[in-house]
Amino acid sequence: MDVFGAIADPIRRDLLRRLSGGPARVVDLAADHAVSRPAISKHLRILVDAGLVHAEASGRERHYVIDVEPLGEVRDLLGALTARRAPISTQHLDALDTEVRRAARDRRRDASASTHSKEDIA
């Protein structure tokens, strides 16, 4: 399963949050959820398959540890989706500035021409 599929489930996201605080045993992780230990083990296997978690043997116990490197793919996607882009580019703003200046110049010229034509009539 890929990283996105692995983090799609809310229980697996909770497991990752819990493991971000340090290694934990299945029994410890199961205590935080209303599902059975075998269900937590199944969720952990999915996280292991996605490369998000690995197990370390400590005597007879297995401690699960988070691997954050695969989350770079998620981070990259979120960065691309939330990147702040100007709704109007600098090029468009420069073009608007040119048009505003041109319009102001044209108004001054028209006002000056209008004043001169009134003087010619009088």
The count of domains in the chain is: 2
Looking at the structure, do residues 15 and 52 belong to the same domain, yes or no?
yes
CATH number, domain at 62? Answer: 1.10.10.10
| pTM of structure | 0.65
Phi-psi region of 51 (alpha: psi -120 to 50; beta: other; left: phi over 0): left
Q: Summarize the confidence of residues 5-22 as an average pLDDT.
A: 95
Q: What are phi and psi of 87, to 5 degrees?
A: -65, -25
Question: Does residue 114 contact residue 120 with C-beta atoms inside 8 Å?
Answer: no
90 pLDDT higher than 90: no
The lowest-confidence range among 20-24, 73-77, 81-85, 101-105 is: 81-85
16: helix, strand or coil:
helix
Task: Look up the domain containing 38 and give its range.
Answer: 3-73
Looking at the structure, do residues 45 and 13 belong to the same domain, yes or no?
yes
Residue at token pair 């996280």:
47
Query: Does residue 52 sit within a domain?
Result: yes
Other C-beta atoms closer than 10 Å to the C-beta of 50 total 19
Question: Does residue 50 contact residue 2 with C-beta atoms inside 8 Å?
Answer: yes
Query: Does residue 79 sit within a domain?
Result: no
pLDDT more than 90, % of the chain = 61
User: Helical H runs in 60-89?
Assistant: 72-82
Vertex 62 angle, CA 39 and 2, to 5°: 55
Looking at the structure, do residues 45 and 99 belong to the same domain, yes or no?
no
